[in-house]
Amino acid sequence: LGNQAKAAMNAGDLVSDDLIMGIMAERLKEDDCKAGYLLDGFPRTIPQAEALKVMLAEMGETLDCAVEIDVARDVILDRLTTRRTCSGCGEIYNVKSNPPAVEGKCDKCGEPVVQRDDETEEAISNRLNVYNDQTAPLVGFYKNEGLLLS
């Protein structure tokens, strides 16, 4: 399931509802979720939100709240297109605000620092367009549910 999800994300697309709901159902059954959890970036569509509500009800749980964080498009593009990740240890850098000491080399392990496929301007622009079309309506959904914090 994870490899299928990664291929979609690398292209800047949303993961299919069936796939993401399968992943979420498995993950929320893990022991470390028994005391509570925070969902970041999920759900991303109204159908996912509705499926989450049903899934949680079947588990005897409810959603406490949904949080909207509003960031300007140009800020998102700038932050993500300048982000770099170590190909060895996964350390995160930013070429403007937090560059590695030696350009292109990780400070921690010395492996190459690279731009991920999903952090190009084209992929990010696609993700933002998908967000506007499919995810932004969740603000109204959770407002109607009385769960929105913004």
Residue 129 resides in a domain = no
How does strand 92-94 pair with strand 66-67?
Answer: unpaired
Residue 100 resides in a domain = no
Residue 63 resides in a domain = yes
For the chain, list the strands marked E by DSSP. Answer: 66-67, 83-86, 92-94, 113-114, 148-149
Query: 């749980």: which residue's tokens?
Result: 61
pLDDT in tens, 54-80: 999 999 999 999 999 999 999 999 999
Average pLDDT taken over every residue of the chain: 92
Residue 38 resides in a domain = yes
Q: How many distinct structural domains can be found in the chain?
A: 1
Write the CB contacts of 101 (distance below 8 Å, at least 6 apart in sequence). 107
Residue 54 resides in a domain = yes
Q: Which domain holds residue 6?
A: 2-68
Whole-angstrom distance, CA of residue 62 vs CA of residue 103:
47
Whole-model pTM: value is 0.72
Residue 31 resides in a domain = yes
Percent of the chain with pLDDT over 70: 99
Give the count of beta carbons closer than 10 Å to the beta carbon of residue 135.
19
pLDDT in tens, 95-132: 999 999 999 999 999 999 999 988 999 999 998 998 89
Residue 115 resides in a domain = no
Specify the pLDDT at position 92: 97
Taking alpha carbons only, the member of 50, 74, 53, 75 closest to residue 63 is: 53
Residue 22 resides in a domain = yes
